[in-house]
Amino acid sequence: MERDIVEACADESKSLADVLASVLQNRRVHPSLLWRLFGADDSINIEKHPVFIRLREETQAPSGVWLEMIHALAIDALHARHWTLFETLHRYLFSFLGKRSYRVRALFAMRCEAQGNYENAVAEYQLMLREDPSRLLAVYRLVSIFKSQNMLEHAVLTLQRYLHDIPSDEKAWNEALILYCELRDWTSAKYAACQRVLLLPSSAEIACTAGSVFYSAGDLKAARQYYARSIEIDVKFSTNHRPAALLGLWLTTSSLDSRGEYSNKQETEHNRRLLHWVRAALRSLYSSLEHKQPSLSSKAMLLLLDSEQESPEGSMSTISDGS
């Protein structure tokens, strides 16, 4: 990869082609290529520069698409810290879209953020959200700033306001879940985990994550249910999240069995059948891993499983947790 970059930087025509290809295909342009093409000039004429001339010729697109590409290149210039190029592209967009344009304002806020001027960046992002609460970029940039400043409560509040208006955004719920866990707000974390499951009920990963959240919160019965759900989804769709869910189910059922918290014999026997099943499943999994590629972790896991006391016979049908 580094050799390709060096070769691209040494060959002006190749650099130009790489930049054009990246912009046309919406990929990030490497900072080295931007600096190679535009250098540190105090001014850049977009209308006459060969990059923009060829970009116009090769796209043969309407002005809207052209401005999309200018915007994408401005973001690349921002990441490359090529301020001259960024300011040139920003002014160009400003002249076409006006100062109230969402993209022009977002670029201004992102520049403030990149230069460490968080106060102005936060003010602009918050103003954008007051005008339109669905502005996802503003939400995530605000959350990122607040997290970098260790202002987790502000980050949570930003997400809560957004999710109040847009409750169907699973990624935002996931971000909120992470923050709730960091703050040890397990009640809110469990709620966020349930929202993710409701939005994507066929995701084994999300069900497994919900099990981990409920396990950390001390709600073992609910954790067991979500781990079992994750395994069932994985068996059906082969999503490869079964190992984590199996481990979670084993820890959960083991803890429930050792505590003896069930009120009747039927619940106790159900949990023990499930415990026996998950032990057998883990033993089979780690035996297969040890056979393919021996490791200390696999051996340790097998020794741990073998050292546990055997439970009543179970079967594959016991995976469904009906509690």
Categorize the per-residue pLDDT at 4 as very low, low, confident or very high, splitting at 50, 70 and 90. Answer: very low
- Are 257 and 296 spatial neighbours (Cβ–Cβ below 8 Å)? no
Phi and psi torsions of 288, nearest 5°: -65, -40
Domain map of the chain by residue range? Answer: 1-97, 116-201, 204-323
**Where residue 304 falls among pLDDT bands split at 50, 70, 90?**
confident
CATH H-level, domain 116-201: superfamily = Tetratricopeptide repeat domain (1.25.40.10)
Distance between alpha carbon 79 and the CA centroid of its chain, in Å? 20
pTM of the model: 0.78
Q: What's the 3-state SS for 102-155? A: HHHHHHHHHHHHHCCCHHHHHHHHHHHHHHCCCCHHHHHHHHHHHHHCCCHHHH
Look at residue 60 and tell me whether its pLDDT is greater than 70. no
Query: 31 or 222: whose pLDDT is higher?
Result: 222
The answer to whether residue 311 scores a pLDDT higher than 50 is no
Residue 318 has pLDDT above 80, yes or no: no
Tell whether the model's pLDDT for residue 9 goes beyond 50.
no
Position 151 pLDDT exceeds 90: yes
Is residue 27's pLDDT more than 60?
A: yes
Residue bearing tokens 């987790």: 152
pLDDT tens readout for residues 61-70: 556 777 888 8
Query: Per-residue confidence at 114, pLDDT binned at 50, 70, 90?
Result: very high
- pLDDT tens digits for range 153-201: 999 999 999 999 999 999 999 999 999 999 999 999 999 999 999 999 9
C-alpha torsion 119→125→129→131, nearest 10: 90
| pLDDT mean over 206-219 | 96
